[in-house]
Amino acid sequence: MINYIRKWIFVPLLFLGVLFPTSVGEITNIQYYYFAFVLLFCCYFFIPKAGTSWNIVAFLLVNILLILFTITASTTFPTYSFGIFPSFFLLTLSFFLNLKEVNSYKHIQLSFTLITFIIIILGGGIVLQNEFIVNFIKRNYTASYDDLVPNMLALRKPVITFATHSVAALFIFLFFFLNLWTFNKTAKIIYFVNSMILLVLLFFIRSNTSIFYCGISIILLFFYLGKQKRLTLLPILGVFIIFLVFLMGNDSIRELFFSFNVDSILSSDKNGFSARYSTQSPLLPTINYILNNPFSPVGLTVSDKLYYSDSGFILYTLRGTIVLTLVIYYSFYRFIKANVINRNLGLVLFLVIIIFEIGYPILINTRFLFLIPFIIVYINYLTVHYEK
Per-residue model confidence (pLDDT) at position 247? 65
Q: Which residue has the higher pLDDT, 52 or 94?
A: 94
Q: How far apart are CA 368 and CA 374, in angstroms?
A: 10
Highest mean pLDDT among 145-149, 255-259, 368-372: 368-372
Q: Is 198 within 8 Å of 172 (Cβ atoms)?
A: yes
**Where do the DSSP E strands lie in 275-386?**
301-302
Identify the pLDDT of residue 237: 66
Most confident of 7-11, 142-146, 232-236, 379-383: 379-383
* pLDDT tens-digit map of 103-121: 777 789 999 999 999 999 9
Asked if the model's pLDDT at residue 238 lies above 90, the reply is: no
Q: Is 2's pLDDT higher than 80?
A: no
pLDDT at 249 over 80: no
Q: Is the pLDDT of residue 170 over 90?
A: yes
Say yes or no to pLDDT of 7 above 80.
no
Asked if 127 contacts 201 with a C-beta cutoff of 8 angstroms, the reply is yes
pLDDT of residue 239: 58
Determine the Cα–Cα distance for residues 237 and 198; give it in Å rounded to an integer.
Answer: 14
Q: Which helix (H) or strand (E) holds 366?
A: helix 366-385
Reference 354, options 312, 318, 326; nearest CA is: 312
Q: How confident is the model at residue 376 (pLDDT cuts 50, 70, 90)?
A: very high
Residue 118, helix vs strand vs coil: helix
Nearest to 332 by CA among 343, 346, 315: 346
What pLDDT shows up at residue 313? 92
Beta partners for 301?
A: 80
At residue 63, does pLDDT exceed 80?
A: yes
Taking alpha carbons only, the member of 278, 249, 255, 156 closest to residue 210 is 156
Higher-pLDDT residue of 333 and 163 is 333
